[in-house]
Copies of this chain bind each other. A is one copy, B any other.
Amino acid sequence: MAAMEEELKALLQDIESLKRSQSDAKSLHSVDERIVRIMNVTKFGTSRRSKVKDMSAEVADSNPYSRLMALQRMGIVENYERIQEFSVAIVGIGGVGSVAAEMLTRCGIGRLLLYDYDTVELANMNRLFFRPDQVGMTKTDAAVQTLSDINPDVALESYSLNITTVKGFEIFTESLRAKGSQKSGRSTGIDLVLSCVDNYEARMVVNQACNELGQTWMESGVSEDAVSGHIQLLVPGETACFACAPPLVVASGVDERTLKREGVCAASLPTTMGVVAGLLVQNALKYLLKFGQVSPYLGYNSLKDYFPTMEMRPNPQCSNLACFERQKEYIQTKPARDAAAKAKIEVEISAVREGPLHLDNEWNISVVDNSKMEISNGCSASDDALPEGLIHELPSAGKYPESLVVGEACPVVDDLEDLQRQLDALNAS
């Protein structure tokens, strides 16, 4: 850039000398040459990598997908290239949403829809992604500018609008509904919505749209003291919706709509937001590419490095009518699935009954040795032959404790027939 400024100053001098001797063809030629040089400098500054049609697994410095395609060779993902078929919508391009967008872009996602109404400010510079030279641009435009440079293979759509307005909501739901050209078998044109907004009202709007469309989405949030956050998977009808049990409002204990008062601002850290964005997109990749376990809810308390998980079932008394409809559909259209699940559980139970630990164990009490995990990861003899003094970094897969169920939305209904009766009663009334 400094080189360009020098060239331009010299160009001005050329013009000055042109003014003095207007018949000098040599000056004109030198001006021509200078402009070509400037255009080369400009090109260098905006040099973008060319589009790549197919993802190659070739190990070469010039291959932007080699480290991702290696996930197949490592046996983690069955078909990584499928990522090009997916469309993801990100609502809220702030501290979490912008980083989530960058991660998906670098992963080579097919299509990315970005929604935000805000502009970039210097006050946003304590979080990743936006640069000081983007101050004043809309967040969606600034994001498209950066992301299209990073990976031109991703189809980017920018929606600079407020989804909580009537008009904004209309455009929002229409853009979700619009069919992508690549895939069928979806109720909308996209595969997943990621909510990265910073207030209760916007979350309820995303919830409303996704309940109406039957659209699976993931919610994320960071506390206003900047040191904790969470992600959550929401499948309309199958899991709790945001109106069934809104976790962030409960956690903060304040009406978030009052947060943006004059002279008051929430704290934020690039670390917490980066971790939450990473956990969110990791969960999205697991969901889309079908590997690992998709977390229904994952909290992050950074002060204690504590990560609670839980599952939340839908509230049959949910005030959101669309949620109510999806719950009904879920029950009506999935009897086969439930029967299969029940049969599977019965097989497992009978297997347990066949081999009790102690024949005289009247209460079926089993002893869980909490020190077992210490031992299996510590220095005592274990099944895996390791040299003395060496330990496993992480316990092997079989040794993981089950995800800790720390809470459920209430009331919890275990009996689906009972839930059906309740729904029928509500419909009749």
A255 interfacial by beta-carbon distance below 8 Å = no
Interface residues of A in 19-36 (CB under 8 A from B): 19, 22-23, 25, 28, 31-32, 35
Hey, what's the 0/1 contact readout for A194-223 against B, CB within 8 Å counting as 1? Answer: 000000000000000000000000000000
A133 in contact with B44 (CB, 8 Å)? yes
Q: Nearest-CB distance from A407 to chain B (Å)?
A: 4
Indicate which residue in B38, B42, B63, B267 contacts A68 across the interface (CB closer than 8 Å): B267
B281 in contact with A230 (CB, 8 Å)? no
A370 interfacial by beta-carbon distance below 8 Å = yes
A258 interfacial by beta-carbon distance below 8 Å = no
A257 interfacial by beta-carbon distance below 8 Å = no
Interface residues of A in 284-309 (CB under 8 A from B): 285-286, 291-293, 295, 298-299, 301-309
B305 in contact with A285 (CB, 8 Å)? no
Indicate which residue in B266, B277, B283 contacts A70 across the interface (CB closer than 8 Å): B266
Q: Tell me the bound Cα distance from A401 to B271 in angstroms.
A: 24
Please name all residues of chain B whose beta carbon is closer than 8 Å to the beta carbon of A61 when the two chains form the complex.
121-123
Q: Beyond A374-B405, A407-B377, A407-B379, is A267–B71 a contact (Cβ under 8 Å)?
A: yes
Instruction: Determine how many copies of this chain the complex contains.
Output: 2
Q: Tell me the bound Cα distance from A43 to B122 in angstroms.
A: 18
A416 interfacial by beta-carbon distance below 8 Å = no
Q: Beyond A267-B67, A269-B68, is A274–B99 a contact (Cβ under 8 Å)?
A: yes
A5 interfacial by beta-carbon distance below 8 Å = yes
Please name all residues of chain B whose beta carbon is closer than 8 Å to the beta carbon of A150 when the two chains form the complex.
125, 131-132
Hey, what's the 0/1 contact readout for A356-396 against B, CB within 8 Å counting as 1? Answer: 00000000000010100110011100000010111111110
Look across to chain B and name the residue whose beta carbon is closest to the beta carbon of A274.
B278
A141 interfacial by beta-carbon distance below 8 Å = no
Please name all residues of chain B whose beta carbon is closer than 8 Å to the beta carbon of A79 when the two chains form the complex.
none
Q: Tell me the bound Cα distance from A42 to B265 in angstroms.
A: 34
A12 interfacial by beta-carbon distance below 8 Å = yes
A425 interfacial by beta-carbon distance below 8 Å = no
Hey, what's the 0/1 contact readout for A122-136 against B, CB within 8 Å counting as 1? Answer: 110111100111010
Look across to chain B and name the residue whose beta carbon is closest to the beta carbon of A310.
B377
B293 in contact with A303 (CB, 8 Å)? yes
Hey, what's the 0/1 contact readout for A36-55 against B, CB within 8 Å counting as 1? Answer: 00110010111111000000
Indicate which residue in B62, B71, B99, B292 contacts A304 across the interface (CB closer than 8 Å): B292
Look across to chain B and name the residue whose beta carbon is closest to the beta carbon of A260.
B59
Look across to chain B and name the residue whose beta carbon is closest to the beta carbon of A266.
B70
A393 in contact with B299 (CB, 8 Å)? yes
Q: Beyond A70-B267, A379-B408, is A305–B295 a contact (Cβ under 8 Å)?
A: yes
Indicate which residue in B121, B304, B378 contacts A293 across the interface (CB closer than 8 Å): B304
Q: Tell me the bound Cα distance from A248 to B393 in angstroms.
A: 6
Please name all residues of chain B whose beta carbon is closer than 8 Å to the beta carbon of A279 when the two chains form the complex.
271, 275, 305
Please name all residues of chain B whose beta carbon is closer than 8 Å to the beta carbon of A11 when the two chains form the complex.
35
From A44, A68, A295, A386, name the one whose CB has the most chain B CB atoms within 10 angstroms.
A68
A423 interfacial by beta-carbon distance below 8 Å = no
Please name all residues of chain B whose beta carbon is closer than 8 Å to the beta carbon of A70 when the two chains form the complex.
226, 265-268
A378 in contact with B407 (CB, 8 Å)? yes
Q: Beyond A15-B35, A407-B374, A408-B379, is A391–B272 a contact (Cβ under 8 Å)?
A: no
A292 in contact with B282 (CB, 8 Å)? no
A63 in contact with B122 (CB, 8 Å)? yes
Please name all residues of chain B whose beta carbon is closer than 8 Å to the beta carbon of A408 when the two chains form the complex.
374, 378-379
Q: Tell me the bound Cα distance from A38 to B411 in angstroms.
A: 65
Please name all residues of chain B whose beta carbon is closer than 8 Å to the beta carbon of A65 when the two chains form the complex.
126
Look across to chain B and name the residue whose beta carbon is closest to the beta carbon of A315.
B389
Q: Tell me the bound Cα distance from A150 to B128 in angstroms.
A: 10
Q: Tell me the bound Cα distance from A210 to B245 in angstroms.
A: 49
Indicate which residue in B4, B132, B305 contacts A47 across the interface (CB closer than 8 Å): B132
Enumerate 11 A-B pairs (CB-CB under 8 Å) in ascending A order: A62-B121, A64-B125, A68-B268, A76-B226, A245-B390, A246-B390, A249-B390, A250-B391, A310-B377, A373-B404, A373-B406
